[in-house]
């Protein structure tokens, strides 16, 4: 592949590349592992231009955050670092205007698609907690918004109303209870964004894709090493990343499970993640943030469900579907989870207190 050959010639590797091949299970970028005759390994990636329309801004975010992180750790596996190009830049643009960047390979590590034990899930909490702590002094407002209004729940409701008004496939009539569920909670939409705007919640660096497969663990000890996949880094609230981790990782069923009775919040997993997260955050979170962690979990679940329902109404143009009503099923699991979180709010608060004690 010509583009790849050109890219291999563009970066400052230690030694000469002797192998390059597709690597990992990412769904967004094209990822290659590169081996050099010096024994060094690297990751080379072509950025997905369909998903990320402003790759230069994206790379400014990645460069600023990785440089900030790398000033705090000598450990080569402690954070992602960018490999410069031969002309001293952080990315290289090929003849088809595709953007490429390279990172040293995080050696002797594991990148899991799913937790194999509760401790793995706890370690992902540790990784994201450390990430939040290490970036607590970063000027978050200087970051670009990779996807504007990504977690602006008020704006997500506006888009939901627009879909309801147009209802292009006449689907609204068949999902009235679902529509009503989300409308009933619209008054809560501003509970994070309004506090960000008023300053009651601090603006933070957020990762926005806090799945386990973006966490590197040590191969031997299975302890958290660092966070990868920094493309969706944006300014936002710490509650977004924490909340989305709980939404996805502390649920007892898959996001698209059709048997809704299988879906609930596991308080055990909630405790496990929260313990890892808060122990690593140290004193970097404010009292208000800690107090609102359960709200973050509920709001991220509500918002994600609302996005699924909006996409169902719009004719499934955003989230990939593989069966009829797939997005409606997803919207329903999130409703179940929201309702369960509402019931378990006192226990979640209690767990936060216990974990902090």
Residues that bind ligand ADP (CB under 6 A): 23-29, 31, 43, 80, 103, 105-106, 111, 213-214, 228-229, 231
Q: In this chain, which of 26, 84, 190, 202 binds Mg ion, going by CB under 5 A?
A: 26
Site for ligand GN1 in 56-75 (CB under 6 A): none
CB of 66 to ligand GN1, least distance (A): 20
Burial classification of residue 317, based on how many CB atoms lie within 10 Å of its CB (0-12 exposed, 13-18 middle, 19 or more buried) = exposed
Q: Which residue has the tokens 């563009």?
A: 10
Structure tokens at 20: 């390059």
Of 27 and 173, CB closest to ligand ADP: 27
Angle subtended at Cα 229 by Cα 62 and Cα 4, rounded to the nearest 5 degrees: 85
CB of 239 to ligand ADP, least distance (A): 23
H, E, C per residue of 77-101: CCCCCCCCECCCCCCEECCCCCEEE
Using CB under 6 A as the criterion, what x/- string covers residues 90-129 for binding ligand GN1? Answer: ----------------------------------------
Cβ-Cβ contacts under 8 Å for 173 (sequence gap 6 or more): none
The end-to-end CA distance of the chain, in Å, is 56
Buried b (16+ CB within 10 A) or exposed e, 173-205: eebeebbebbeebeeebebbbebbeeeebbbbb
Q: In this chain, which of 60, 155, 186, 255 binds ligand GN1, going by CB under 6 A?
A: 255
CB of 232 to ligand ADP, least distance (A): 9
Site for ligand GN1 in 123-182 (CB under 6 A): none
**209 touching ligand GN1, by CB under 6 A:** yes
**Residue 237 contacts which entry, ligand GN1, ligand ADP, Mg ion, none (Cβ below 5-8 A, type-dependent):** none
Of 13 and 105, CB closest to ligand ADP: 105
Of 155 and 209, CB closest to ligand GN1: 209
Using CB under 6 A as the criterion, what x/- string covers residues 292-331 for binding ligand GN1? Answer: ------------x---------------------------
CB of 349 to ligand GN1, least distance (A): 24
Q: Are 206 and 144 in contact (CB under 8 A)?
A: no
- Using CA atoms of 27, 78, 58, 298 in order, give the dihedral in degrees to the nearest 10: 70
Q: Are 78 and 130 in contact (CB under 8 A)?
A: no
- Residue-wise DSSP of 266-331: -HHHHHHHHHHHHHHHTT-S-HHHHHTHHHHHHHHHHHHHHHHHHHHHHTS-SS--SSTTHHHHHH
CB of 279 to ligand ADP, least distance (A): 25
CB of 192 to ligand GN1, least distance (A): 15
Of 30 and 255, CB closest to ligand GN1: 255
Residue ranges binding ligand GN1 (CB under 6 A) = 209, 232, 255, 304
């Amino acid at each position: 592949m010509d583009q790849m050959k050109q890219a291999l010639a563009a970066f400052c590797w230690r030694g000469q590349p002797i192998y390059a091949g597709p690597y990992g299970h990412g769904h967004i970028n094209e990822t290659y592992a590169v081996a050099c005759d010096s024994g060094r390994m690297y990751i080379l990636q072509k950025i997905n231009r369909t998903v990320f329309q402003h790759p230069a801004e994206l790379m400014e975010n990645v460069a600023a955050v990785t440089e900030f992180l790398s000033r705090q750790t000598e450990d080569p596996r402690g954070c992602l670092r960018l490999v410069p190009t031969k002309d001293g830049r952080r990315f290289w643009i090929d003849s088809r205007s595709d953007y490429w960047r390279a990172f040293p390979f995080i050696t002797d590590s594991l990148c899991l698609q799913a937790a194999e034990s509760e401790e793995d899930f706890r370690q992902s909490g540790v990784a994201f907690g450390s990430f939040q702590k290490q970036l607590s002094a970063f000027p978050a407002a200087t970051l670009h918004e990779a996807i504007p209004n990504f977690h602006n729940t008020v704006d997500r409701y506006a888009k939901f109303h627009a879909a309801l008004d147009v209802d292009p496939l006449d689907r609204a009539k068949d999902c009235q209870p679902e529509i009503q569920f989300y409308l009933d909670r619209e008054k809560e939409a501003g509970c994070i964004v309004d506090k960000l705007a008023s300053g009651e919640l601090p603006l933070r660096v957020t990762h926005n894709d806090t799945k386990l497969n973006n966490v590197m663990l040590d191969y031997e000890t299975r302890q958290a090493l660092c966070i990868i996949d920094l493309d969706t880094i944006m300014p936002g609230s710490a509650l977004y990343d924490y909340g989305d981790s709980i939404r996805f990782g502390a649920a007892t069923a898959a996001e698209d499970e059709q048997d809704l009775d299988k879906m609930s919040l596991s308080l055990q997993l909630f405790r496990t993640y929260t313990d890892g997260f808060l122990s690593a955050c140290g004193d970097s979170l404010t009292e208000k943030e800690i107090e609102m962690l359960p709200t973050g979990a509920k709001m991220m679940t509500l918002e994600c469900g609302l996005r699924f329902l909006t996409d169902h109404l719009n004719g499934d143009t955003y989230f990939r579907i593989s069966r009829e009503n797939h997005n409606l099923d997803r919207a329903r699991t999130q409703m179940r989870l929201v309702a369960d979180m509402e019931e378990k709010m006192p226990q979640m608060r209690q767990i936060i207190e216990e974990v902090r004690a």
